[in-house]
């Protein structure tokens, strides 16, 4: 039928459906020369309280501080003290060591799942350094760096990953879906982008109570396609909410390249323009640029000048998760050829270039961090690993569904306790 | 406990006759006054006072940062309310019609309902979602639905449906004070007066109805506690919302000695009141406006059968809306009115 109709309308051009396709697939030779990477230091830095429209040019530019000679350039240079830079470097190296060990533990069957943030360490860690401790972070699942930057104990993270008896979330959550109210880190959900309107709501609440806390929402570029992204930006704009939206554009959403989230037509930072909120597009592998941008947005929010959307342009250096094999959909060369380099190496080289660090110090630090992660792992393993006993008592499954337990949950809890007695007649009856 | 409370109710304060809308408005006003963490948001609820007047005057009295209008985005309304709860506020979002709650469903099901559980109580969602529901007003497909079963199926949500002004105020205050997320369905057909299903007769106002005597000031009706509308021995009728009034009228006209139970809260359910009644009467009629298949009546029927099987003298009977979208012109053919309820009773009593 449709074919017939089309045939009778020969005088009109045939329509065609555009389905985006990444530039490189497995086996392809990678060439990133099409990417426009502006020189560091050339991007203007408007005042934090400026009208959003003054940032619109920055939504298609790329804020960069570290140049090819590892020197800090231009108005966005946050001029951080070497001590703070070394702290940031150490935390980035720590989360990389942590990721690497947890990944291996998953392969050894000690937990069911893990997910690295390799190549994206600068985004979460440098951004968190630019915030106040009281500011609430609404993370996605790839911001483990925020926990490290806020000093959350590694052992508590690993207990959660093992779902063992010391897991603060009582074995209820998939590994890495942390919740850490003690460091103002919101409970992570498996449902993408839901945290963004929540961050806006938190910020609205803070503003309505005349508080000084701001909220910071994180999302991957793939998840910006969710309706919640739109709701969050719209509400933030309407109520001038003190919130920052951090988009980590790592180019990939599992196997889908950023084109499926709209990257072929516009930058993700440019989404800010339509909502009338401030936007910045930032080199996500440049610690100084990330810190400066986050600090700018935080100061702006704190001054009641409104929300900011920041796109961190970076690259997901590894697979999506332990359940993913990236060689099935993208060229292995992409990570090697990525023109913005590695965030840890770039900060290391900067510190060396300004005479505040050395290769020897770096290597010795890496050794220490490996040992720190190993020690924490051993400590956590004492509390059990997934599926090897030492988990939560069965009754805890029925707790916290509601504040109090209604009759139907009491009945079901009794059933679970009964089943345990049937399965382990001589064991404990938790 | 339910019986004592319902049959010889003696409220403390002065009472006046209020409509359900006035009772809801008063509950919100009292909670805004008592608790600085209470915050109201929704489409048209601020300056205008709501399309049903439930929030009339509240913005003027309590200020724009406590009571305000929102963009037309149910996902946003529920989503920001979850964030406000995480901050420590006690948000009361309004969804203009229950038929439009679906864009907010992910935030309700995946977030609000699970926040306490997944964070081991680090974060909670002490929010009350108010939303007008039910048919009988020529609302057609998208102003008449009764989606309660979608919510009773979700672990972590409480579901409440008042049927009188007295209960509406007491249950709403209890819901707002509750630390769990509550879906508060307001039967819009009985906002201004009880409705017995006789659509061709003049509408009665709440004024003069015993359940419209609403005490001034703060009081609560506990969640999870049913109300015995009428004690009886011939059969048990389980109903909520508008259908309580339809069932009551039919039983009165047929002079059936029914025990009518207004569930008031669907989750948590007052299973004791149900069991006690059905064990006494041996017969159970379940009435709701919502569509039949997988409706809340199926859960009620299963519970009654499981827990009262040896006391039953007839199969449990369900009178519900039909398994179709809610029609416009055929509203009164769809609505489970006096004829359908009456036949359900006849069938039960003839067994």
The ipTM assigned to this model is 0.96
Query: Cα–Cα distances in Å, from B165 out to B183, B226, B242?
Result: 18, 15, 12
Chain A residues touching B89 at Cβ < 8 A: 205, 208-209
Q: How far is A191 from chain B (nearest CA, A)?
A: 7
Question: What pLDDT does A427 receive?
Answer: 73
Closest CA to B30 of B42, B18, B47: B18
* Domains of chain B and CATH, by start: 15-190 (3.40.50.970), 224-350 (3.40.50.920)
Do B118 and A138 count as a contact with CB atoms less than 8 A apart? Answer: no
Supply the mean pLDDT for chain B.
95
How far apart (Å, rounded) are the C-alpha atoms in residues A281 and A321? 26
CA angle A80-A82-A84, nearest 5°? 65
Do A189 and B107 count as a contact with CB atoms less than 8 A apart? Answer: no
In this complex, is the C-beta atom of B123 within 8 Å of any C-beta atom belonging to chain A?
yes
In this complex, is the C-beta atom of B156 within 8 Å of any C-beta atom belonging to chain A?
yes
- Please count the residue pairs, one from chain A and one from chain B, whose beta carbons lie less than 8 angstroms apart: 149
CB–CB of A162/A106 below 8 Å? no
pLDDT band at A2 (very low <50, low <70, confident <90, very high): low
What is the enclosing helix (H) or strand (E) of A252? strand A252-253
Do B83 and A200 count as a contact with CB atoms less than 8 A apart? Answer: yes
Do A189 and B124 count as a contact with CB atoms less than 8 A apart? Answer: no
In this complex, is the C-beta atom of B120 within 8 Å of any C-beta atom belonging to chain A?
yes
Question: What pLDDT does A296 receive?
Answer: 98
- Among residues B62, B143, B245, B288, which one is catalytic? B143
Q: What is the pLDDT of residues B287-296, one digit of tens each?
A: 999 999 999 9
Nearest chain B residue to A397 by CA: give it: B117
In this complex, is the C-beta atom of B294 within 8 Å of any C-beta atom belonging to chain A?
no
Do A238 and B71 count as a contact with CB atoms less than 8 A apart? Answer: yes
In three-state form (DSSP H/G/I as H, E/B as E, the rest C), the secondary structure along A9-36 is CCCCCCCCCCCCCCCCCCCCCCCCCCCC
What average pLDDT does this structure show over A343-356? 98
pLDDT of residue B268 exceeding 70, the answer is yes
Chain A residues touching B115 at Cβ < 8 A: 187
In this complex, is the C-beta atom of B125 within 8 Å of any C-beta atom belonging to chain A?
no
Do B83 and A215 count as a contact with CB atoms less than 8 A apart? Answer: yes
What average pLDDT does this structure show over B84-111? 98
Chain A residues touching B65 at Cβ < 8 A: 207-208
What average pLDDT does this structure show over A282-297? 98
Question: What pLDDT does A8 receive?
Answer: 66
Chain B residues touching A408 at Cβ < 8 A: 268-269, 271
Q: Which of A109-123, A268-282, B2-16, B260-274 has the lowest mean pLDDT?
A: B2-16
pLDDT of residue A386 exceeding 50, the answer is yes
Q: What is the pLDDT of residues A389-412, one digit of tens each?
A: 678 889 999 999 999 999 999 999
In this complex, is the C-beta atom of B271 within 8 Å of any C-beta atom belonging to chain A?
yes
pLDDT band at B13 (very low <50, low <70, confident <90, very high): low
CB–CB of B149/B3 below 8 Å? no
Q: Which of B79, B88, B268 sits opposite A197 (nearest CB)?
A: B79
Do B39 and A208 count as a contact with CB atoms less than 8 A apart? Answer: yes
Q: Checking DSSP bridges between strand B213-215 and strand B317-321, what pairing results, if any?
A: unpaired
Residue with tokens 């998760």: A321
Do B180 and A205 count as a contact with CB atoms less than 8 A apart? Answer: no
How many distinct helices (H) and strands (E) make up chain B? 13, 14
Residues of A taking part in catalysis: 316, 320, 329
In this complex, is the C-beta atom of B180 within 8 Å of any C-beta atom belonging to chain A?
yes
Chain A residues touching B119 at Cβ < 8 A: 169, 179, 181, 187
Do A400 and B268 count as a contact with CB atoms less than 8 A apart? Answer: no
What average pLDDT does this structure show over B211-236? 98
Helix residue spans in chain B (DSSP H) = 2-7, 20-34, 58-62, 74-87, 105-106, 115-118, 148-152, 165-177, 242-254, 271-281, 296-308, 331-334, 338-350
Q: Which of A9-18, A388-397, B20-29 has the lowest mean pLDDT?
A: A388-397
Question: What pLDDT does A424 receive?
Answer: 87
Q: How far is B133 from chain A (nearest CA, A)?
A: 24
Chain A residues touching B268 at Cβ < 8 A: 402, 406-408
Supply the mean pLDDT for chain A.
95
Q: Which of B107, B122, B156 sits opposite A187 (nearest CB)?
A: B122
Q: What is the pLDDT of residues A134-154, one digit of tens each?
A: 999 999 999 999 999 999 999
pLDDT of residue B30 exceeding 50, the answer is yes
Q: What are residue B307's phi and psi, to 5 degrees?
A: -105, -15
């Amino acid at each position: 039928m449709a074919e017939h109709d089309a045939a009778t309308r020969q005088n009109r051009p045939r329509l065609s459906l555009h389905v985006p396709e990444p530039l490189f697939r497995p086996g392809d030779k990678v060439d990133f020369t099409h990417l426009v990477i502006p020189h560091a230091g050339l991007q203007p830095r408007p005042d934090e309280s400026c009208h959003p429209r003054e940032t619109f040019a920055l939504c298609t530019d790329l804020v960069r501080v570290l140049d090819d000679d590892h020197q800090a350039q231009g108005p966005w240079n946050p001029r951080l003290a070497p001590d703070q830079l070394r702290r940031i470097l150490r935390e980035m190296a720590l989360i990389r060591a942590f990721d690497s060990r947890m990944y291996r533990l998953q392969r050894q069957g000690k937990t069911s799942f893990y997910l690295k943030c390799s190549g994206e360490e600068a985004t979460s860690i440098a951004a968190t350094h630019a915030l106040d401790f009281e500011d609430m972070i609404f993370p996605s699942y790839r911001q483990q760096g925020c926990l490290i930057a806020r000093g959350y104990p590694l052992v508590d993270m690993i207990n959660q990953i093992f779902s063992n008896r010391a897991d603060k979330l009582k074995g209820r959550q998939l590994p890495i879906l942390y919740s850490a109210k003690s460091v103002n880190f919101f409970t992570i959900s498996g449902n993408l982008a839901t945290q963004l309107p929540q961050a806006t709501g938190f910020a609205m609440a803070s503003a309505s109570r005349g508080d000084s806390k701001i909220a910071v929402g994180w999302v991957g570029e793939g998840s910006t396609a969710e309706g919640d992204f739109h709701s969050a930006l719209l509400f933030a704009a309407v109520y001038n909410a003190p919130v920052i939206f951090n988009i980590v554009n790592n180019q990939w959403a599992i196997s889908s390249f950023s084109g499926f989230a709209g990257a072929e037509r516009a930058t993700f930072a440019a989404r800010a323009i339509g909502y009338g909120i401030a936007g910045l597009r930032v080199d996500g592998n440049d610690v100084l640029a990330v810190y400066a941008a986050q600090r700018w947005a935080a100061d702006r929010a704190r001054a009641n000048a409104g929300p900011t959307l920041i796109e961190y342009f970076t690259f997901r250096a590894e697979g999506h998760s332990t359940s993913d094999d990236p060689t099935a959909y993208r060229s292995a060369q992409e990570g090697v050829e990525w023109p913005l380099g590695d965030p840890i190496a770039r900060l290391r080289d900067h510190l060396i270039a300004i005479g505040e660090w050395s290769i020897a110090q770096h290597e010795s630090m890496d050794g220490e961090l490996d040992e720190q992660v190993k020690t924490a792992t051993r400590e956590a393993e004492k509390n059990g690993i997934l599926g090897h006993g030492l988990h939560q008592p069965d009754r805890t499954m029925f707790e916290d569904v509601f504040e109090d337990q209604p009759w139907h949950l009491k009945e079901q809890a009794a059933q679970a306790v009964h089943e345990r007695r049937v399965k382990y007649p001589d064991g404990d009856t938790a | 406990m339910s019986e004592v409370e319902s049959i010889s109710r003696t409220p403390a304060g002065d009472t006046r006759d209020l409509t359900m809308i006035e009772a809801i408005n008063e509950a919100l006003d009292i909670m805004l006054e008592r608790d600085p963490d209470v915050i109201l948001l929704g489409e048209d609820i601020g300056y205008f006072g709501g399309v049903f007047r439930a929030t009339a005057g509240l913005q003027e009295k309590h200020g724009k940062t406590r009571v305000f209008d929102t963009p037309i985005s149910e996902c946003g309304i529920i989503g920001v309310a979850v964030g406000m709860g995480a901050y420590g506020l006690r948000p009361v979002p309004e969804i203009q019609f229950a038929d439009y709650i679906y864009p907010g469903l992910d935030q309700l099901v995946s977030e609000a309902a699970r926040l306490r559980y997944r964070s081991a109580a680090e974060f909670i969602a002490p929010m009350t979602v108010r939303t007008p529901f039910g048919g009988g007003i020529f609302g057609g497909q998208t102003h008449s639905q009764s989606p309660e079963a979608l919510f009773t199926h979700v672990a972590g949500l409480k579901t409440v449906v008042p049927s009188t002004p007295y209960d509406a105020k007491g249950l709403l205050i209890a819901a707002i004070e509750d630390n769990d997320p509550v879906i508060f369905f307001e039967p819009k057909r009985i906002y201004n007066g009880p409705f017995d299903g006789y659509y061709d007769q003049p509408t009665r106002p709440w004024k003069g109805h015993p359940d419209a005597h609403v005490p001034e000031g703060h009081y609560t009706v506990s969640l999870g506690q049913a109300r015995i509308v009428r004690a009886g021995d011939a059969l048990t009728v389980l109903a909520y919302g508008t259908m309580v009034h339809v069932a009551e009228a039919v039983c009165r006209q047929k002079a059936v000695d029914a025990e009518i139970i207004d569930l008031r809260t669907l989750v948590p359910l007052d299973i004791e009141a149900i069991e006690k009644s059905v064990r006494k009467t041996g017969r159970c009629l379940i009435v709701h406006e919502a569509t039949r298949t997988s409706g809340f009546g199926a859960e009620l029927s299963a519970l009654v059968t499981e827990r009262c099987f040896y006391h039953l003298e007839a199969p449990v009977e369900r009178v519900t809306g039909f398994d179709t979208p809610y029609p416009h012109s055929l509203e009164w053919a769809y609505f489970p009115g006096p004829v359908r309820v009456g036949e359900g009773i006849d069938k039960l009593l003839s067994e």
